[in-house]
Amino acid sequence: MSGADIVIDTNVLVAALRSKRGASHRLLRLVDKGLFEIHLSVPLVLEYEYAAKAHLPDRFLDTKDIDDILDYLCAAGRHHEISFLWRPHAKDPMDDMVLELAFTASCKNMVTFNHRDFIGSKELGIEVVNPREFLEKMGEKI
């Protein structure tokens, strides 16, 4: 049983894939360790794929590596269908999609670097934290 339910925003995934240092990478390495449970939707995974492949060309990861990482996340995460839309809430429709998932999955935390994009999330009972803040809340050393 996991300690917390979270949605990981795309910017955190991209940061984790860009560098093996830092809280983002540590967060991804802990995905299946029981500390927390990630929640996913088809649109979020498609955004992960697009962003990772668009922002990581010619890096140490090739498209097969990215596909393998996404397969791992899909196997480890809980999948949700978003059956209602109450947009717009955020400025960016892609942020609304992430917020909808967090709300549908009853996640108390959304892990992102874009705090400003989710200003109204608190009223939905969702705390916006960066990877370091989340890991510290879980008692993890960075």
pLDDT in tens, 89-112: 555 556 788 889 999 999 999 999
If pLDDT is split at 50, 70 and 90, which confidence band does 1 have?
very low
Class of domain 5-137: alpha beta
Domain borders along the chain are: 5-137
Query: Is there a cis peptide before residue 88, judged by omega within 30 degrees of 0?
Result: yes
Structure tokens at 117: 């994009």
Pairing of strands 78-79, 37-40: parallel
Q: CA-CA distance, 140 to 119, in Å (whole number)?
A: 26
Alpha-carbon distances of 124 from 5, 57, 98, 106, rounded to whole Å: 15, 36, 13, 10
Region of 81 please: left (phi>0), alpha (psi -120 to 50) or beta.
Answer: beta
pLDDT in tens, 22-79: 999 999 999 999 999 999 999 999 999 999 998 876 667 888 999 999 999 999 999 9
Q: How many CB atoms lie within 10 A of CB 129?
A: 18
* pTM for this model (two decimals): 0.90
Q: CA-CA distance, 133 to 44, in Å (whole number)?
A: 22
